[in-house]
Amino acid sequence: MINIGKEEFKKAYLKKFLEIHGEELGEGNSYKKYEALGNLVKDYVGEKWVETTKKYNNSGEKQIYYFSMEFLLGRLLGDALLNLGIRDVCREALKDLGIDLGELESLEHDQGLGNGGLGRLAACFLDSMASLNIAGHGCGIRYKYGFFEQRIVDDKQVEVSDNWLRDGNLWEKRKQDKKEIVKFGGEVITEEVNGVMKFTHVNYEPILAIPYDTPVVGYEHETINNLRLWSAETVSDEFDFSSFSRGEFLKALEYKNSVEAISQVLYPNDTQYEGKILRLKQQYFFVSAGVQSIIRHYKKHGGKIENLDEKIAIHINDTHPTLAIPELMRILLDEEGLGWEEAWKITTGTISYTNHTILAEALEKWPIDMFKTLLPRIYMIVEEINKRYCQELWNKYIGQWDKISRMAIIADGQVRMAHLAVVGSHSVNGVAKLHTEILKKQEMKDLYYFYPNKFNNKTNGITHRRWLIKSNPQLTRLLKNTIGDGFIKHPTDLIKFEAEVHKKEIQLELAKIKRLNKEKLAKTILNTKGIIIDPDSIFDVQVKRIHAYKRQSLNCLKIMHLYNEILANPNKDMVPRTFIFGGKAAPSYYLAKNTIELINKIANVINNDKRVNEKMKVVFLDNYRVSLAEEIIRATDLSEQISTTTKEASGTSNMKFMMNGALTIATLDGANIEIKDEVGLDNIFIFGLQSQEVLDYYKYGGYSSYEYYRDDQRIRAVIDDLINGRYCSDKERFRPIYDNLITYNDEFFVLKDFDSYIETNSRVDDEFRDLYKWQRKCGINIAHSGIFSSDRTISEYATGIWGSELIYKNL
Ligand code: 26V
């Protein structure tokens, strides 16, 4: 904890302002004020950062490296202040100077280097590792452009590049001296020297990898870990001026651009995605730089290669960093001179892997030719891994060629990254109970039966520091006043709140806090969208990536149906509702973009129909991102978690909503199941198909969406409304959604679940009328949300996967 009083802080701030801007603090220019504060905070962080690194170097404790292509950090200032323990002092000090801390915090550009759940999970994990004093560091790519910014123009999504570094990034530090070289292309010369095979990589293209380090501040400032993001540059930046006169200058520039392209942009998680060479380059680039720098550092501080797996753990976030396996093998074999068996034991002992989805389109596979040409030595190693593994398979499954080729790493002209990840690591985990079961019994069945001990479950979590303490200060205050502040360090202590939630005054207090947060969101909506919403209405929220399996379409049909009902019965007795959506569609995912347009068209029609406006409004919030999520989630009454059962590996926004006292309407999918188990069926609204029913439909068929259309007049009406011009004068506009639901038999069972969804929604309405009862349920959700803190998840990873004595001691 930093010990500093208000006056001292003021002085330090004014001094910092003068120092970095060369002028005294004056009126206006808030960004300069933000910069001064950020730099001051960085000073506080800096000393401890060096100290932590020194401590790690001397203690020899096991170092964990979390490799991920995505880190969706959001803004950093507020969290750093909170974890340093000076957010309140800072707020007061700035207030005296006429500055609003909230305003400065909001000037920071979100660090949006991630698509969604997977990238945000990586960010929550970094926060938890630092806060639990675990030596856990991130390794990824410093994309020049983050995930695109979404604008809504004429109701449609338009993508704008996210130039997040434009105004500088005060948190990062370029570490020129820690650069690495990554080698692409070329050939491998194989020769025998003194009876040992030697592999020499020649004629390759060297690329410079420059690390940028960002401090990860742990709660109470005891530990500051490191997030290292790599940027690609040409090996030599000096232009050969003689080439200028030879007319080759432009060529040189072109080359520079092609190299820098490697860390230029984050790939969106597209359904139509096909293996692109630039993505493979990105993967090898950061993984090779990361593994090389880990080993260099390890050896520099006296580490012995034979003990690597006792001292280092490398965790791969989905298959994207799987090349860490052959890269580590390459270093151990070619540079350290180990034999295959020993290298393999160390590699598998070091690496562990998390799977984040069962969606087939996300399983990465690379064409052999592309792989081999770009990474010739790595390909040889993967081939050898595959050969030895297939030999083992052969020993066990003699003659079962089909099975062996199904399980192989290289087959059908492709390299299967998920198989490589399972074979080359000692632990494979899913991210919620159902997901892990589906991995074991369906998606990776063969691999599971071959390696039963590798598979385990680690249900996801979220950092309660950002998602409760920082983003919902009023609720945090109430919790502190009623159950003390123990839950900050031990989030499962939130369970103590359960004893309070039956009290009327607590229920009223919860309602008051929610109302305040709703008013704030209503203001944001008015300012950004020009839509007036009623803070007394139910805020019914679905914010997440737009995808067919997440079924924003089901929510749309519900809203369209409600609209029909109110028009048919203007006196319908209901609680007014505001339907709020947010989320980005992958740029080439046509159906998802069509869904965004549908939501906006529905909003236009409904929000301009005075006959229904006292009862319903619809809002699509542009550019959903971490900072906007913080504002929305604390103001939500009803959290929509309505994916087709079996499809959402875990979900993490479900946990954030719960922790902020929203009730959940959900299918029994992903971590919704664990949430239901925690709070009990009385405190969550469950509907829809069960997982076995979905799996059976997929296996045996038997579902006809047309029959639901034909037999249910409510469904017929809303489906017809998609193509009769009701929401858009161009009647063909929403034909893709119509076709998906009717012509192509509704792959995600939207119509099948419609009835139970509508029925469950009317139960929501009934329950909401009783404020006390509703708030008691909200309170129970808050009380039970502690186990969904990523501190619990990270403790499980540390003890169950990364295991080391020092880690056990820390927990
Ligand atoms: C796949 C691809 C394919 C190629 C282009 C870029 C790209 C980027 C990401 C992905 C994988 C996405 C998997 C993912 O985000 N899964 C989500 O992980 C969350 C954290 O575990 C989990 O809560 C969500 O349920 C799950 O959908």
Q: Which residues are CB-neighbours of 398 under 8 A, at least 6 positions away?
A: none
The active-site residue out of 48, 120, 465, 545 is 545
The pLDDT value given to residue 261: 96
**Closest to 370 (Cα-Cα) out of 272, 285, 280, 287:** 280
- The residue whose CB lies within 8 Å of the most ligand 1 atoms, and thus the one to mutate among 271, 354, 357, is 357
Contact between 537 and 577 (Cβ < 8 Å): yes
Q: Please tell me the distance between residue 69's alpha carbon and the centre of ligand 1 in angstroms.
A: 11
The pLDDT value given to residue 543: 98
Q: Name the 3-class secondary structure at 234.
A: coil
Pick the residue whose CA is nearest to atom 24 on ligand 1. 651
- The residue whose CB lies within 8 Å of the most ligand 1 atoms, and thus the one to mutate among 269, 416, 459, 460, is 269
Q: Please tell me the distance between residue 332's alpha carbon and the centre of ligand 1 in angstroms.
A: 31
361 CA: nearest ligand 1 atom: 3
Q: Would you place residue 677 in the very low, low, confident or very high pLDDT band (cuts 50, 70, 90)?
A: very high
Q: Please tell me the distance between residue 593's alpha carbon and the centre of ligand 1 in angstroms.
A: 18
Q: Sheet containing 414-416: give its strands across.
A: 365-367, 414-416, 410-411
The active-site residue out of 578, 652, 667, 793 is 652
Q: Please tell me the distance between residue 363's alpha carbon and the centre of ligand 1 in angstroms.
A: 10
**Closest to 710 (Cα-Cα) out of 702, 719, 721, 698:** 719
273 CA: nearest ligand 1 atom: 4
116 CA: nearest ligand 1 atom: 15
Pick the residue whose CA is nearest to atom 9 on ligand 1. 269
Q: Would you place residue 128 in the very low, low, confident or very high pLDDT band (cuts 50, 70, 90)?
A: very high
268 CA: nearest ligand 1 atom: 6
Pick the residue whose CA is nearest to atom 4 on ligand 1. 269
Q: State the DSSP H helix or E strand holding residue 649, giving kind and residue range, or none if neither.
A: none
Kindly state the average pLDDT of the residues 638-652: 98
Q: Name the 3-class secondary structure at 113.
A: strand
Kindly state the average pLDDT of the residues 145-154: 98
pLDDT over 70 percentage in the chain: 98
649 CA: nearest ligand 1 atom: 25
**Closest to 658 (Cα-Cα) out of 467, 523, 416:** 467
Q: How many residues does the chain have?
A: 811
Q: Please tell me the distance between residue 649's alpha carbon and the centre of ligand 1 in angstroms.
A: 9
Dump strand ranges (E) for 296-397: 312-317, 351-354, 365-367
The pLDDT value given to residue 248: 75
117 CA: nearest ligand 1 atom: 19
The yes-or-no answer on residue 544 being catalytic is yes
- CA–CA separation, 278 and 284 (whole Å): 10
- CA–CA separation, 419 and 68 (whole Å): 18
Pick the residue whose CA is nearest to atom 6 on ligand 1. 269
With 80 as the cut, is the pLDDT of residue 303 above it?
A: yes
- CA–CA separation, 394 and 363 (whole Å): 25
Pick the residue whose CA is nearest to atom 7 on ligand 1. 269
Q: Name the 3-class secondary structure at 683.
A: helix
Count of Cβ atoms closer than 10 Å to residue 90 Cβ = 25
The pLDDT value given to residue 811: 55
Pick the residue whose CA is nearest to atom 8 on ligand 1. 269
For residue 137, count CB atoms less than 10 angstroms from its CB and return exposed for 0-12, middle for 13-18, buried for 19 or more.
buried
Q: Which residues are CB-neighbours of 37 under 8 A, at least 6 positions away?
A: 13, 16, 77, 90, 94, 104
- The residue whose CB lies within 8 Å of the most ligand 1 atoms, and thus the one to mutate among 148, 356, 652, 669, is 356
Both tokens of 634, joined, read 């604390």
User: β-strands 577-582, 538-543: how paired?
Assistant: parallel
431 CA: nearest ligand 1 atom: 21
Pick the residue whose CA is nearest to atom 15 on ligand 1. 118
Kindly state the average pLDDT of the residues 579-605: 98
Q: Please tell me the distance between residue 161's alpha carbon and the centre of ligand 1 in angstroms.
A: 21
pLDDT over 90 percentage in the chain: 93
The pLDDT value given to residue 187: 98
Q: Please tell me the distance between residue 268's alpha carbon and the centre of ligand 1 in angstroms.
A: 10
For residue 668, count CB atoms less than 10 angstroms from its CB and return exposed for 0-12, middle for 13-18, buried for 19 or more.
middle
Q: Would you place residue 270 in the very low, low, confident or very high pLDDT band (cuts 50, 70, 90)?
A: confident
DSSP 269-308: --TT----HHHHHHHHHHHHHHHHHHHHHHHHTT--GGGH
The yes-or-no answer on residue 656 being catalytic is yes
The yes-or-no answer on residue 144 being catalytic is no
With 60 as the cut, is the pLDDT of residue 300 above it?
A: yes
Q: Would you place residue 275 in the very low, low, confident or very high pLDDT band (cuts 50, 70, 90)?
A: confident
What's the per-residue H, E or C state across 402-444? HHHHHHCCEECCEEEHHHHHHHCCCEEEECCHHHHHHHHHHHC
Q: Please tell me the distance between residue 356's alpha carbon and the centre of ligand 1 in angstroms.
A: 6
270 CA: nearest ligand 1 atom: 5
Contact between 419 and 447 (Cβ < 8 Å): yes
Pick the residue whose CA is nearest to atom 20 on ligand 1. 118
Query: Both ends of the chain: CA-CA distance in Å?
Result: 19
- CA–CA separation, 264 and 232 (whole Å): 8
- The residue whose CB lies within 8 Å of the most ligand 1 atoms, and thus the one to mutate among 650, 673, 794, is 650
Kindly state the average pLDDT of the residues 803-809: 61
Give the position of tokens 């004056």: 26
The active-site residue out of 120, 466, 518, 656 is 656
The yes-or-no answer on residue 547 being catalytic is no
184-240 pLDDT, tens digit per residue, is: 999 999 999 988 899 999 999 999 999 999 999 999 878 999 999 999 999 986 555
- The residue whose CB lies within 8 Å of the most ligand 1 atoms, and thus the one to mutate among 118, 120, 674, is 118
The active-site residue out of 550, 647, 733, 777 is 550
The pLDDT value given to residue 2: 83
Tell me the torsion sign for CA atoms 647, 491, 312, 47. Answer: positive
Pick the residue whose CA is nearest to atom 10 on ligand 1. 269
Mean pLDDT of the chain, nearest integer: 96
Q: Would you place residue 80 in the very low, low, confident or very high pLDDT band (cuts 50, 70, 90)?
A: very high
The active-site residue out of 33, 48, 356, 464 is 356
Give the position of tokens 């690329």: 207
Pick the residue whose CA is nearest to atom 11 on ligand 1. 362
440-476 pLDDT, tens digit per residue, is: 999 999 999 999 999 999 999 999 999 999 999 999 9
Q: Please tell me the distance between residue 2's alpha carbon and the centre of ligand 1 in angstroms.
A: 37
Q: Please tell me the distance between residue 647's alpha carbon and the centre of ligand 1 in angstroms.
A: 12
- CA–CA separation, 433 and 674 (whole Å): 8
Q: How many CA atoms lie within 13 A of 182 on its CB side?
A: 31
With 60 as the cut, is the pLDDT of residue 131 above it?
A: yes
392-448 pLDDT, tens digit per residue, is: 999 999 999 999 999 999 999 999 999 999 999 999 999 999 999 999 999 999 999
- CA–CA separation, 288 and 314 (whole Å): 13
With 90 as the cut, is the pLDDT of residue 789 above it?
A: yes
Q: Which residues are CB-neighbours of 63 under 8 A, at least 6 positions away?
A: 56, 135, 136, 137, 294, 298, 311, 312, 313
Q: Would you place residue 494 in the very low, low, confident or very high pLDDT band (cuts 50, 70, 90)?
A: very high
- CA–CA separation, 430 and 357 (whole Å): 8
With 80 as the cut, is the pLDDT of residue 243 above it?
A: no
331-354 pLDDT, tens digit per residue, is: 999 999 999 999 999 999 999 999
- CA–CA separation, 230 and 233 (whole Å): 10
Count of Cβ atoms closer than 10 Å to residue 554 Cβ = 25
Pocket of ligand 1, beta carbon within 6 A:
115-118, 121, 267, 269-270, 273, 318, 356-357, 362, 431, 460, 648-652, 670
Kindly state the average pLDDT of the residues 619-643: 98
Query: Where do the domains of the chain lie, and which CATH numbers do they carry?
Result: 6-460 (3.40.50.2000), 464-794 (3.40.50.2000)
Q: Please tell me the distance between residue 71's alpha carbon and the centre of ligand 1 in angstroms.
A: 12
Strand partners, 207: 182
- CA–CA separation, 381 and 326 (whole Å): 6
Q: Please tell me the distance between residue 266's alpha carbon and the centre of ligand 1 in angstroms.
A: 13
